[in-house]
Amino acid sequence: MSLTLTHYLVLSAILFVIGITGVIRRKNLLMLFFATEIMLNAANVALVAISKFTGDFGGQMFALFIMAIAASEVAVGLGLLILVYKKYGTLDLDSLSTLRG
C-alpha cells in the first residue's frame, strides 16, 4: 500500500484542526502562540507534500518563507507578551478585557 497525496493532506488537516481547537479553546496568551505554531506547521506539511507529489519546488520554497515569518512572529510576539505581563501581571485573555463599551 503506497502513500498518496491525500494521506499527507489528511494528516495536515488533522493538525490544523488541532491548532484551531487550541486557538478557540485556550485563554492563555502563550498557549495561543503554541496553537499558532501548530497551524503553521500543518500548513508546512501540506506544502511540502504537494511539492513532492507534483514535482514542483515552489512548495518547499514557500515552506521556507513560512518558517522565516514564523520566527519573526515569535520574536515580536514574545516581546509584546512580556510587555503585557509586566503591565497586567497575567496572561489570561479574560482579565485583559479593559475596553468596556
Partner 1 sequence: MEAIAFYIFGALITGLFLVTVISKNILYSMSALAAGMVLISGLFFVLGADFVGAVQLVVYSGAVMALYAFGMMFFDATRDVKEKNAPAGRIFLLSGLSALILVVIFAAPQIGKNIKPLVTGVEGANNPENIGAILFTKYLIPFEVAAVMLLVAMIAGIVLASKKMDVSLSELASDDLVGDDQTHEIKEHK
Mask: binding to partner 1, 55-94, rule CB under 8 A, as x and -?
xxxx-xx-xxx-xxxxxxxxxx-xxxxxx-xxxxx-xx-x
Does 96 interact with partner 1 (rule: CB under 8 A)?
no
For residues 69 and 83, give the distance between their C-alpha atoms in angstroms, rounded to a whole number. 21
- Give the C-alpha separation, 67 to 17, whole Å: 20
Map the footprint of partner 1 across residues 39-58, applying CB under 8 A. 41, 44-46, 48-49, 51-52, 54-58
**Shorter beta-carbon distance to partner 1: residue 1 or 99:** 1
With CA atoms as reference, report the closest residue to 39 among 25, 59, 22, 58. 22
Distance CA 52, CA 36 (A): 25
> Would you count residue 99 as binding partner 1 (CB under 8 A)?
no
Closest CB to partner 1 among residues 2, 99: 2
